[in-house]
Amino acid sequence: MGIITDDAALSAMPRTAAKADAVVLLPEVGSTNTYARELIEREGEGRWPFASPSAVAVVATDRQTAGRGRLDHVWTSAAGESFTVSFVACVPRALATDDTVNGWLQMIAGLSALDALREAAGETGGGGLKLKWPNDLFCGGLKLGGILAEMVMLPGELDRVAVIFGIGINLAVPADRLPTPQSTSLQLHFALGRSGEGQAVDTAALRDRIAARLVASLRLRLDALIRDPHAEAPRLAGETRSLCWTLGHRVSIHYTDGTTLEATALALNDDASLTVRDDAGATRTVRTADVDVLNH
């Protein structure tokens, strides 16, 4: 249990409170990432347990009204339907600013989310869970959730920074309320512990199980990357290639300057970048962009 874990979190997220160093649970908030960032900037280490290099703090909400995705996409959620949780960790500034390895920070959050989702879905039932480069969770070829990683300066710190991983997952969104035809929800693929036909998913308990497992996985994966980033990066690349929904598919790349490109995704590189081949046959390296898989 962490130093700022509140009574609401202790009651509704006991497994997460036991695993994380701090947990805040809000009934409603605009954005869990924004709330976490403002708390860090306002309170610094006075309320966040970053004295330990392995500390992970959690901000969760029942309902998010102004969530942000990659490239300013909007992510909203209704109570009882979605997983809207931000995870806060501290990493060396040298790692966060090293372009040869820092792409793995966001990818590690995706791998940790898959660890948690596979456990929640049952060890034999998670085969359809994949990552879409660089920040989406997919199931059965459809978008299940997304991840937004943000770096925040720690007040008074020169050598370390905080990284906020905002993770949104459709847990029990009915098919007729999914945001797009390319979206899906966890309950549409897995039984999720329902005890009888037609019974609703206990999304509060499910959120707690997923968040607790995610904290543990995120801590282990970050610790390994921090210890030896240039040795860990190739290992992460090997693991991620087998889970990457993007590879081998025709994709549409949306760059931050507003331009787009259609290409075929060829390879995931050791620095977490993506190699694609355009229609002229030229290969390109993509490091910062939003990538949609076409015709799926």
Q: What are residue 149's phi and psi, to 5 degrees?
A: -100, 135
Residues 172 and 263 in one domain: no
Mean pLDDT of 107-126: 85
User: For residue 264, what are the domain limits?
Assistant: 246-293
Query: What CATH number should be reported for the domain holding residue 67?
Result: 3.30.930.10
Mean pLDDT of 79-83: 82
**Percent residues over pLDDT 90 in the chain:** 64
Domains contained in the chain, number? 2
Strands 289-293 and 283-286 come out as unpaired
d(CA 44, CA 116): 29
Residues 123 and 267 in one domain: no
Residues 59 and 184 in one domain: yes
Residues 211 and 87 in one domain: yes
**Distance set, CA 229 to CA 66, 87, 112 (Å):** 34, 20, 17
Residues 192 and 253 in one domain: no
Whether residue 124 is predicted with pLDDT greater than 50 in this model: the reply is no
Residue with tokens 């920070």: 105
d(CA 128, CA 138): 8
Residues 157 and 277 in one domain: no
Residues 215 and 235 in one domain: yes
Sign of CA dihedral 246, 294, 114, 54: positive
Residues 156 and 91 in one domain: yes
Answer whether 0.95 is exceeded by the pTM. no
Of residues 32 and 196, the one with the higher pLDDT is 32
Residues 158 and 274 in one domain: no
Query: What CATH number should be reported for the domain holding residue 259?
Result: 2.30.30.100
